[in-house]
Amino acid sequence: MKPLIAISPSSSPSVLRKSRLSPYIFTLLAFTLFVAVLYGEDFMCMFDRELQLSSVSTWLLSTTERKSGEAGSLPFAIGTLEEGCDIFRGRWVRDESTRPHYEESDCPYIQPQLTCQAQGRPDKKYQFWRWQPHGCNLPSFNATLMLETLRGKRMMFVGDSLNRGQFVSMVCLLQSAIPEGAKSMETFGSLTVFTAKDYNATIEFYWAPFLLESNSDDAIVHRISDRIVRKGSINKHGKHWKGTDIMVFNTYLWWMTGLKMKVLKGSFDDEAKDVVELSTEDAYRMGMKSMLRWAQRNMDPSKTRVFFVSMSPTHGKSIDWGGEPGGNCYNETAMIEDPNYWGSDCRKSVMRVIGEVFGKTKVPITLLNITQLSSYRKDAHTSIYKKQWSKLTAEQLANPASYADCVHWCLPGLQDTWNELLFTKLFYP
Ligand SMILES: *[C@@H]1O[C@H](CO)[C@@H](O)[C@H](O)[C@H]1NC(C)=O
Ligand SMILES: *[C@@H]1O[C@H](CO)[C@@H](O)[C@H](O)[C@H]1NC(C)=O
Ligand SMILES: *[C@@H]1O[C@H](CO)[C@@H](O)[C@H](O)[C@H]1NC(C)=O
Ligand SMILES: *[C@@H]1O[C@H](CO)[C@@H](O)[C@H](O)[C@H]1NC(C)=O
């Protein structure tokens, strides 16, 4: 497996020239921003704090209910849940008999960024939690049903490394039901394809961290600073998504530069680039609208389903949950108990944009609102138990929190729950 995030200052000479920084300074700057992205939620929270989240969410929920209410006719539906049950409101319940769904060592497709046990994580408690909605029970994940449903079909995850984690989780949930030799995983540039041969089914992941074309689109060497996203460019990637039966989008973290977002009009090949700066919210709204337009033009609502996974929370600052200053998710083995815990405010303003855009659209898209339930799970990150791509310095080793990853999640773990919720919304909309 290749690193998901790598830094190559030589990957875009034109930007280098323009920036008039020496490659060395550029690398340093890039690295600083990279660290800032991973660990500094301060960087992400520089816009719009005052919100009426609750009114937005009530409105959005009623929209979603209305859409699913119209349809026993929704494709793939086989039943319904208790009337009005919001599966995203609930609590975590300890469950040692049915969790985890699989053993880390039994799923060969997990990349070494997420194999926490193999990378030395000493505790396992994070694997034994089940999500229990307040209003109903979740149906149990049935791999055979999922595979039968996917027979002759394509399911595709499109987005960033968090979506890749959810894709891998889905593959792990299904792969044990497929015999050796009848399954494979291959990568072609931005596209990774898991094939279940006997089912003629594929589950795919397409790397597009902004969904739109950007200068961060290389699946291996991503640009991590000075990001530019191109307006109106979703077909650049979207042409590779056509013919998909079940789409699962996400996009969030890469928009959170902490600065205004640079948006390119015209083409990346233009000599004189026409770049405007938008607030993070406005830029994100543009991305959401492009996604919905793409879905409207390319997905047949009578045969296909489209999902959007809300923001995956990070746990980079322990003061957010009343911990010691300077700490983060490192050494956290218990979840946050406060049911009202939300974390940093900027997630709310992004949630509001999602609510506004989804509330107005006629495109049937299902929101997987995993943000709140995941925000409790400071125990579930990969932390320092992931493959490190560069040699750690003595200084870092002396202070493990300094290199803990509080963005991504161990597998098996939290993201299996996201897929149980996807399973639920697919079959019991
Ligand atoms: C997402 O779910 C949380 C928890 O139930 C809720 O507080 C929030 O308002 C929801 N957001 C939307 C847009 O529905
Ligand atoms: C899982 O789904 C398959 C195919 O629909 C069905 O035959 C089987 O009974 C289901 N298993 C459970 C435990 O519900
Ligand atoms: C396999 O599935 C693809 C869609 O992913 C479909 O176009 C093709 O006809 C299927 N082939 C067979 C032999 O069923
Ligand atoms: C980790 O947390 C435990 C308490 O939960 C504490 O005793 C220990 O000192 C911590 N270790 C480090 C390295 O911070």
Q: Which ligand is nearest to the CA of 143?
A: 2
Tokens of 61: 């929920």
Higher pLDDT, 94 or 225: 94
Which segment of 5-9, 28-32, 117-121, 243-247 scores lowest on mean pLDDT? 5-9
Residue 342 C-beta-side C-alpha neighbours within 13 Å: 10
Which of 171, 94, 101, 173 lies closest to 128, judged by CA? 94
168 phi, psi to nearest 5 deg: -65, -40
Which of 237, 239, 159, 162 lies closest to 205, judged by CA? 159
Q: Which ligand is nearest to the CA of 243?
A: 3
First to last CA, the chain: 36
* pLDDT for residue 59: 36
Q: How does the average pLDDT of the chain come out, rounded?
A: 86
Q: Which residue has the tokens 């161990």?
A: 410
CA dihedral defined by 237, 258, 352, 251, rounded to 10 degrees?
Answer: 20
Q: How far apart are CA 246 and CA 203, in angstroms?
A: 9
* pLDDT for residue 345: 67
Tokens of 147: 């595979």
Q: Please name the residue whose Cα sits nearest to atom 3 of ligand 3.
A: 152
366 lines ligand 1 (CB under 6 A): no
Q: Pairing mode, if any, of strands 261-265 and 274-278?
A: antiparallel
Q: What is the mean pLDDT of residues 139-150?
A: 98
Q: What is the mean pLDDT of residues 323-327?
A: 94
The Å distance, Cα 151 to ligand 3 centre, comes to 8
For residue 422, give Cα distances in angstroms to 28, 100, 193, 306, 386: 40, 17, 19, 11, 26
Assess whether pLDDT exceeds 90 at residue 238: yes
* 79 Cβ contact list (under 8 Å, min separation 6): 139, 427, 428
Q: How far apart are CA 337 and CA 335, in angstroms?
A: 6
Given a contact cutoff of 8 angstroms between Cβ atoms, the answer to whether 231 and 286 are in contact is yes
**Residue 58, phi-psi category: left (phi > 0), alpha (psi -120 to 50), beta (remainder):** alpha
* pLDDT for residue 223: 66
User: What is the SS3 assignment for 333?
Assistant: coil
Residue pLDDT, tens place only, 173-229: 999 999 999 999 999 999 999 999 999 999 999 999 999 999 999 888 776 778 999
CB atoms within 10 A of CB 203: 26
Given a contact cutoff of 8 angstroms between Cβ atoms, the answer to whether 171 and 248 are in contact is no
* pLDDT for residue 315: 97
Q: What is the mean pLDDT of residues 306-323?
A: 96
Identity of the highest mean pLDDT range in 38-47, 278-287, 383-392:
278-287
Choice from 51, 57, 340 to test ligand 1 binding pocket (greatest atom count within 8 A of CB):
57
Q: How far apart are CA 381 and CA 370, in angstroms?
A: 15
Side chain identity at 272, as an amino acid letter?
Answer: A
Q: What is the mean pLDDT of residues 149-161?
A: 98
421 lines ligand 1 (CB under 6 A): no
Higher pLDDT, 67 or 114: 114
Q: How far apart are CA 332 and CA 383, in angstroms?
A: 9
Residue pLDDT, tens place only, 30-82: 443 343 334 333 344 443 332 233 333 333 333 444 444 444 579 999 999 99
Report the percent of the chain where pLDDT is more than 90. Answer: 77
* pLDDT for residue 255: 94
58 lines ligand 3 (CB under 6 A): no
For residue 362, give Cα distances in angstroms to 63, 246, 292, 334, 428: 10, 18, 9, 41, 21
Which of 135, 99, 175 lies closest to 414, judged by CA? 99
186 phi, psi to nearest 5 deg: -135, 150
Q: Which residue has the tokens 């009005």?
A: 84
User: What is the SS3 assignment for 364?
Assistant: coil
Ligand 2 interacting residues, C-beta cut-off 6 A: 142, 144-145, 148
* 63 Cβ contact list (under 8 Å, min separation 6): 358, 359
Given a contact cutoff of 8 angstroms between Cβ atoms, the answer to whether 400 and 394 are in contact is no
